[in-house]
Structure 1
Amino acid sequence: MKYNFRTDLKYVDINGHKLHIFRAGDGRKPKLVFMSGSGTAAPMYVFKILYEKLIGDFRIIVIEKFGYGYSDLYEGSCKIDDVIAYQRKALESAGEKPPYVLLPHSMSGLEAIRWKQLYPEDVAAIIGLDMATPITYMEWSDSEIKKRIGLMKKFQKLNRLGLLFWYPLSRRGLDKNECRELKLLKKRNLMNDCYINEARAVQANAKVTASSEMPRCPMLMFVSDGKQVSANWRENERKYAAGVGAETVFLDCGHYIHYFESERISTKIREFISKKELFKDT
């Protein structure tokens, strides 16, 4: 099916496939790199309510991995080191040089942690937006993984039949045209095979991340009420934060915390980066 998406998008080429990176703000300012959680159909729009409050002080970058947003539905390797490698290559191709502050949501917390482990000079800090940690995924049983993948496949089938029109999508902070784009991206992307392949790889990726040294960099972790994720979510976040010396902010809201607490989060991000003097020379 052909989708008539907006035409002002900029892509980078990764091994013959198009990958979209949203960029806005002054390129000379500190770079905030937003990384989406599993199954986020349109990261560029989902994060907007938060990054629009930060754009005056920072360079905003949203990576849309393959299968996400406007990027190609390309089923490449889901091994965590390979996923990080192509994201680094994409940023380099776009002229966005490190250091970065990584802002992972949900599952991409693993990627942010691993990025710091593999390329420590790239990452000035990690600010988790209800980010996942290896602890949670390593608690899952094989039956839990199979159950979740089975549910994703059911939703995929319903979406292809056009029966997921009821599926909730937040329009917070979006204008009419952006809402239209969001709906199109939902139709194209929701529960695609890239997401399912990621789910199959998540436990192995968590083990790889857990087997290496914990990241040593300034970390701030915003944590949801845990009700929309998994058992022991808050406790696991607390344990991981204690292990890496991260500052934590516990919020009484759902998993997409930027939908509910964008004002508070943006204010705290500014304070944290300023306090840690991460970019004294910029």
Structure 2
Amino acid sequence: MKQNEVIKGENDPATDKKPTSMMKKVLILILKAIAVLAILGIVFVAIVFIVDKVSSKSEQGKIQSYGQLVPVDGKKMNAMIQGTGEETIVILPGFGTAAPALDFKPLIDELTPFYKVVVIEPFGYGLSDKTDKERTTENIVSEIHEALQNLQIDRYILMAHSISGLYGLDYVNKYENEVSAFVGLDSSVPTLSEQEVGTSTLGALSLLKKLGFTRLLVKSGDDPYAGLSYDEETKEQMRMLGHKNMANPNNLNEIKWMPSNFKGAEQLTFPNKLPVVFFIQANHPVTDRWLPEHEKQAKDSDYGKVITFEADHYLYRTHAKEIAEKFRAYMEEIK
């Protein structure tokens, strides 16, 4: 071979040019596809954001007032009072209940022929204001008590759903002379703590709320009130208040404080002379300790009792009549 001959296929510009050109074309196509996807993503986020803002503004004028606003810690807390019975029942909601006074309507309707029923909507719930104070048990309990004091309600039965069972345990120990009985509606117990949620997760939830994705998530999910006894107007009000209140700063702060609030209640027990009755689901979907732990709590009271239902966590929506009847029977038993 002559010295200046080039072996075919090696270092031949003609053969190098074709694959290099092809690679550039492929790279350009990939970059264009990424750019298109990015633009579509931005457009999608923008649409979700705008729809949420427009819908929220429209719904703001459609949300109807109910109950009465009570001064608490320089802000307004909403409370609804129904019925004229001699004894008063104060209902406290579970975590994230969008509009407690409306959500508890089936149970309220069953109780009001016999009791005066007061539903308290803590800060960040229902029509109540939001607060900058941390959602510790101490603050929540103090605010609820201030609301009742300003309503001039100083003797009552405390009825608490879910997480309010934890706050209620603290409440009855602090204001034992005011509470005549405690009723747990599938209420939380200190020994079955909620898992800690990281700051990054809470930040992501806050961002999703600001961008309007919580509305999208709710729309794509099942209707929690389908087939229940709520009228369409009430369901629509709860839906709008759900969009308004879901993942608001007070809700997220309450999640942040949950592990600490559970830990702080571990040594608390119900006063032994306080009548205590739990209405709980018979088969908890996550833990088999649900019934035993409530039975342990009931033993703290000389009048403790546990009544189970084949129901889900929101048993007051589906078994309101049975709860009201069994509660009245329980109160007769302990007289």
TM-score (norm 1): 0.86
| Aligned mates of 1:155, 1:174 — CA distance in 2 | 30
1:180 corresponds in structure 2 to 236
Deviates more, 1:217-226 or 1:167-176: 167-176
Is 2:247 the partner of 1:195?
A: no
Amino acid at match of 2:318: F
Q: Deviations over 1:21-55 (max 9, x none)?
A: 011111x5211111111111111111111110110
2:142 corresponds in structure 1 to 85
Deviates more, 1:30-39 or 1:257-266: 257-266
1:271 corresponds in structure 2 to 329
| Aligned mates of 2:315, 2:203 — CA distance in 1 | 22
Q: Superposition RMSD on alpha carbons, in Å?
A: 2.5
Q: 2:129 aligns with which of 72, 78, 96?
A: 72
User: Cα 1:62–1:9, aligned 2, differ >3 Å: closer, same or farther?
Assistant: closer
Q: Is the Cα contact below 8 Å between 2:68 and 2:80 reproduced in 1?
A: yes
| Structure 2 residues without counterparts, runs of 5 or longer | 1-55
Shift of 1:152: 9.7
Amino acid at match of 1:133: V
1:160 corresponds in structure 2 to 212
Q: 2:225 aligns with which of 145, 166, 170?
A: 170
Q: Deviations over 1:88-107 (max 9, x none)?
A: 11111123x22111110000
| Aligned mates of 1:108, 1:64 — CA distance in 2 | 11
Amino acid at match of 2:151: A
| Aligned mates of 2:164, 2:199 — CA distance in 1 | 17
Tell me the secondary structure at the aligned position of residue 165 of structure 2: helix
| Aligned mates of 1:249, 1:152 — CA distance in 2 | 39
User: Cα 1:52–1:67, aligned 2, differ >3 Å: closer, same or farther?
Assistant: same
| Aligned mates of 1:237, 1:8 — CA distance in 2 | 34
Is 2:161 the partner of 1:100?
A: no
Shift of 1:189: 0.8
TM-score (norm 2): 0.73
1:131 corresponds in structure 2 to 187
| Aligned mates of 2:289, 2:297 — CA distance in 1 | 12
User: Cα 1:212–1:220, aligned 2, differ >3 Å: closer, same or farther?
Assistant: closer
Q: Is the Cα contact below 8 Å between 1:224 and 1:254 reproduced in 2?
A: yes
Is 2:303 the partner of 1:252?
A: no
User: Cα 1:197–1:249, aligned 2, differ >3 Å: closer, same or farther?
Assistant: same
Amino acid at match of 2:177: E
Q: 2:78 aligns with which of 20, 27, 43?
A: 20
Shift of 1:186: 0.7
Is 2:150 the partner of 1:150?
A: no
| Aligned mates of 1:149, 1:110 — CA distance in 2 | 26
Give the percent of matched residue pairs that are identical in Structure 1 and Structure 2.
23
1:240 corresponds in structure 2 to 297
Q: Is the Cα contact below 8 Å between 1:20 and 1:64 reproduced in 2?
A: yes
| Aligned mates of 2:200, 2:145 — CA distance in 1 | 28
User: Cα 1:275–1:235, aligned 2, differ >3 Å: closer, same or farther?
Assistant: closer
User: Cα 1:9–1:259, aligned 2, differ >3 Å: closer, same or farther?
Assistant: closer
Larger RCO, structure (CA 8 Å, separation 6 or more): 1
Q: Is the Cα contact below 8 Å between 2:159 and 2:185 reproduced in 1?
A: yes
Q: How many residues align?
A: 270
Is 2:263 the partner of 1:211?
A: no
Correspondence 1:3-14 to 2 at 5 A: 3-4=60-61, 5-14=63-72
| Aligned mates of 1:49, 1:188 — CA distance in 2 | 23
2:12 corresponds in structure 1 to none
| Aligned mates of 1:75, 1:178 — CA distance in 2 | 29
User: Cα 1:208–1:259, aligned 2, differ >3 Å: closer, same or farther?
Assistant: same
| Aligned mates of 1:251, 1:149 — CA distance in 2 | 38
Shift of 1:242: 3.0
| Aligned mates of 1:152, 1:238 — CA distance in 2 | 37
| Aligned mates of 1:156, 1:64 — CA distance in 2 | 25
Tell me the secondary structure at the aligned position of residue 332 of structure 2: helix
Q: Is the Cα contact below 8 Å between 1:24 and 1:61 reproduced in 2?
A: yes
Q: Is the Cα contact below 8 Å between 1:108 and 1:131 reproduced in 2?
A: yes
1:280 corresponds in structure 2 to none
